[in-house]
Structure 1
Amino acid sequence: MHRLKLVKELRIWLLGIAAGLMALHISLIWHIESTDFLGTSVLFWIAVSSLIWKKHQTLYLESSVFSSFLGISIVAWVLLKSARIDSYDPFLRLSPFVSALGLGLLASGIKGLKQYWQEIVLLGFLVIPPSLILALIDFTSLTAKFSVFLLWYLGFNVYRQDLNVILPTGIIEIGHGCSGVTAIVQLLGLAFIFLVMFPTNRGEKILVPVVAAVLAFTVNAARIVLLAILSAFSNHEAFNYWHGGDGSLIFSVISVLIFGFFCRFLLLRDEPEQQKSGEV
């Protein structure tokens, strides 16, 4: 009876610490006004919380003195480091992953960390900055080339000069912010969440991230095409709206919705197969 009481108290303490770390992380991102990263972080925290809730009754909660000390030290380091952040800091990408490790050690020790491998792997995805992908693949140039192709296909007299998309009456330059890398990382994150949370076969594990990347790239290119057309017609107000205002978020929502329908289609398609295997 006494042990059950201790376990319940431990669960409450762990829940409080976890909720505090999540709230701190989200509030810091909100403070620096990073809309894309905020949305991605919230989705990942929701996914992790859902996974923990599904198995909270079966979790092994017992930690050694060393593991508890290490876990508390990690959590304390995250709190101290976070208290000094007043602008964008790469630590904001690392802190969820580190926090998960600290909480895992505090809750279940080193041996029990394997219970949380899904959650730790998910939060590890947030560590990857879009700039790293941009350094590996020149999406800026690819976006410029593909946008020019789309405009040409639509019948516009267009050509490209380096990163400039040039129409007879307007020109736009494709910067890093318009490369689509942020959108690609966002959809790849959703794909990663989907693959971790739902059973998929080997082919789907390859197909889902490929569809996510291609979809995000294509939707962003469509946005560039729209911006080029608006620039050609000298519609500066509409250009500013679709470039940096709420209009840019609309394209993100469109890509997320399309990808959501795709994932839903996969789940519905796999249901009959799972039912047949269950009957057998």
Structure 2
Amino acid sequence: MSKLPKMTQFSVLPRIQDCLRSFHGSLVLLGLFVGLCYLPIWLAGLLDRVPQSSDGFTLATAFVGLSLYMLWKQHRQLAQLEASEADRLLGHMLIIAAIGLFPFCRFAIWPQAILWALILSGIACSTWGLRFFAQHQLLVAAALATVYPRPTVPVRLLWEAITPYKFLERWMAQAGAGALQLLGWPATAVQSLVTFPEGAVDVNWGCNGFDMALIMAVTGLVMGVFLKQSWKKTLGFVGIGIVAALAFNVPRIMLLAVASVYWGQSWFDFWHGPWGGQLFTGLLFTVYYYTVMAMVKRRSGKAA
């Protein structure tokens, strides 16, 4: 029987030994060890709300995949970068500060996420220099978006800080009620409520389409990167994804409102739950994918 190659011994250990020969390498390894300590907390936060909604999980995994893909794609360019003495000192200070504070910040996810972001920034700064952040902005943004397991939360807080109270919920209620009126239903919108003579349903945050619009924006970004499109075209994909998500959310609001008032709780639970939601999501992604691919093929044809 032939022995399997000892991948750990021949691949990982020499690299670790090389890192330990320098102060920079040892500090990077120590920072990565702190990342391993944070990993179980990150995974627990990522999986915590999956039974209620998979939007945050989808978004987080998309950012992880995008950052790893871009890191692999640009590894040759990164190998040519070298940090100056000042950049290396700055990076080391960030890593040391984050490592020193980490044991005192285990009380919540968000301070650990901030410190992990500082460690990653310090590793990049001390290895590739500050030029890395200017030359690889998309990679930096995608990597930093992975440090917190619920990326929709900070975006939601920012959205609620700059918009009026329940702005999107009220807009969705009005759009849903208006579309129902066109179909002959006696629906009206009162704030974030879609009302009928027999009852009403409230459009809450989970049904306003924001999370799905965010996912579609990231989907457009990922497709633009993978299809090697220009920044202008990629931003177009992002915009189309946001508009498509909000447009598809209107018939979902209509269906949920009718089901809640007229069809009974079981039908409302089905369309509001994961199975009914996945039907809309699947249809949205299918339409969006073929729309983007048609745009890419049409523009490629014109360029030829």
| TM > 0.5 | yes
* Cα separation, partners in 2 of 1:238 and 1:79, compared to 1, 3 Å: farther
Please identify, of 135-144 and 124-133, the stretch whose mean Cα deviation from structure 2 is larger.
124-133
Q: How does 1:168-187 map to 2 (within 5 A)?
A: 168-187=197-216
Q: Give the TM-score normalised by the residue count of structure 2.
A: 0.71
- 2:185 match: secondary structure: coil
Q: Percent identity?
A: 16
- Please list, as runs of the form range in 1=range in 2, the aligned pairs for 1:114-263 lying within 5 A after superposition: 114-123=134-143, 126=151, 128-137=154-163, 138-201=167-230, 204-263=233-292
CA distance in 1, matches of 2:287, 2:100: 40
Gaps of 5+ in 1: none
Q: What amino acid maps onto 1:152 in structure 2?
A: Q
1:69 aligns with: 92
* Change in 2 beyond 3 A, CA 1:219/1:112: closer
Amino acid at match of 1:76: I
Q: 1:25 offset after TM fit, Å?
A: 6.8
2:32 to 11, 14, 17: 17
Q: Which structure has the larger Rg?
A: 2
Question: Which residue of structure 2 aligns with residue 110 of structure 1?
Answer: 130
Q: 1:95 to 1:185 in 2, by over 3 A?
A: farther
Structure 1 position 56 matched with structure 2 position 87: no
Q: In structure 1, what is the Cα distance between the partners aligned to 2:49 and 2:112?
A: 13
Structure 1 vs Structure 2 CA RMSD: 3.6
Q: Which moved more, 1:43-52 or 1:161-170?
A: 161-170
Instruction: Quote the Cα distance in structure 1 between the aligned partners of 2:230 and 2:215.
Output: 23
Report the CA distance between 1:46 and its aligned residue. Answer: 0.2
Runs of 4+ in 1 over 6 A off after TM superposition: 5-8
Relative to structure 1, is the Cα distance of residues 81 and 29 closer, same or farther in structure 2, using a 3 angstrom cutoff?
farther
1:32 alignment partner in structure 2: 48
TM, length-normalised to structure 1: 0.76
Q: Deviations over 1:4-23 (max 9, x none)?
A: x8799559x77x93984895
The CA distance in 2 between the partners of 1:77 and 1:263, in whole Å, is 47
The counterpart of 1:43, out of the listed 53, 62, 68, is: 62
Q: Say if 1:227 and 1:243, in contact at 8 Å, map to a contact too.
A: yes
In the superposition, relative to structure 1, how do residues 224 and 90 fare at CA in structure 2: closer, same or farther (>3 Å)?
A: farther
Q: Tell me if the contact between 1:170 and 1:228 (Cα under 8 Å) persists in the aligned partners.
A: no
**Cα deviation digits, residues 194-218 of structure 1 (max 9, x gap):** 3455444575355323211211112
* 3-state SS, counterpart of residue 57 of structure 1: helix
CA distance in 1, matches of 2:113, 2:246: 23
